[in-house]
Amino acid sequence: MIDRIIRFFTSIPQRIREWFSRRPDHFIERLRQQCTLGTEATMALIDYMEKPSKKNAQRVRQLEKDADELLRILVDELNRTFVTPIDREDLYKLSRAVDDILDDTWFTINEMDILEVEPNLHLREMAARLVTGAEEIKLAVERLSDHPGVASTHATRAKAVRNDMEQLYARALADLFRKPKDLDNVIMMLKLREIYRHLFHAGGRIGDSADIIDDIIVKFY
């Protein structure tokens, strides 16, 4: 009888560790779903750059709506969960940052469609880097629970994408201001500047997501 009691109490720490090790999976899965939508949206952006159409634009709009719904579900689940092994604020911040990537991707396509802006080399280059960044964030989240060191590597690569986007944005703006200053070109400059800005912000959200992932790794892994 005494042996049973001793085994019971000595097993408590292990049981607690097992309980906590299982709990993040539920929220990580939500984040994985969001990241998958993010990579799909950035790939759809590439498709739009290759073939601008209402259909391709609507595809991104639907993905953005789906991601918003996942964010709402995650928030609801956080509010109904008493203990989260990963800080609830960090989970929310990461989900919010990933959602913002989709928002800015949608803003890019929406304004290109409304303003009737044709894709150019700068837009294609920035869109391609955005795809890379979204994929790195997705891989980082997928590796977070079991391989945090690998997740950190992917987060570092995502931060490099943010830096690349800053350079591409600056280059695109510089090219804009080298154009002739007649009225038509000035109007096009204003349109392109707004679209470049959305892609630049999307790159920043990728960097924000990577920073949050690194914070989580330092705190909990």
User: What are the DSSP E strand ranges found in 85-166?
Assistant: none
Q: What is the pLDDT of residue 11?
A: 57
Of residues 57 and 221, which shows the higher confidence score? 57
- Average pLDDT rounded to a whole number, residues 153-167: 96
Q: What's the pLDDT score for residue 187?
A: 87
**Which residue in 93, 95, 108 sits closest to 68, CA to CA?**
95
Residue with tokens 């990579």: 39
Give the per-residue pLDDT at 4.
Answer: 57
pLDDT number for residue 24: 46
Listing DSSP states for 31-42 in one string gives: HHHHHHHHHHHH
pLDDT at 202: 96
Q: Is the pLDDT confidence value at 138 over 80?
A: yes
Cα 182 to the center of its chain, rounded Å: 38
What pLDDT does 9 receive? 46
How many degrees, rounded to 5, is the angle at CA 76 between CA 216 and CA 206? 40
Q: What is the pLDDT of residue 45?
A: 94
Mean pLDDT of the residues in the chain: 87
Sorting pLDDT into bands at 50, 70 and 90, what band is 12? low
Arithmetic mean of pLDDT, 89-100: 93
Of residues 83 and 135, more confidence is placed in: 135
The identity of residue 39, as a single letter, is: T
Q: How confident is the model at residue 57 (pLDDT cuts 50, 70, 90)?
A: confident
CATH placement of domain 21-220 = 1.20.58.220
Mean pLDDT of 5-16: 53
DSSP 154-200: HHHHHHHHHHHHHHHHHHHHHHHTTS--SHHHHHHHHHHHHHHHHHH
Q: pTM for the whole thing?
A: 0.84
- The answer to whether residue 71 scores a pLDDT higher than 50 is yes
Write phi, then psi, for 165 (nearest 5 degrees): -65, -35
| Residue 52, phi-psi category: left (phi > 0), alpha (psi -120 to 50), beta (remainder) | beta
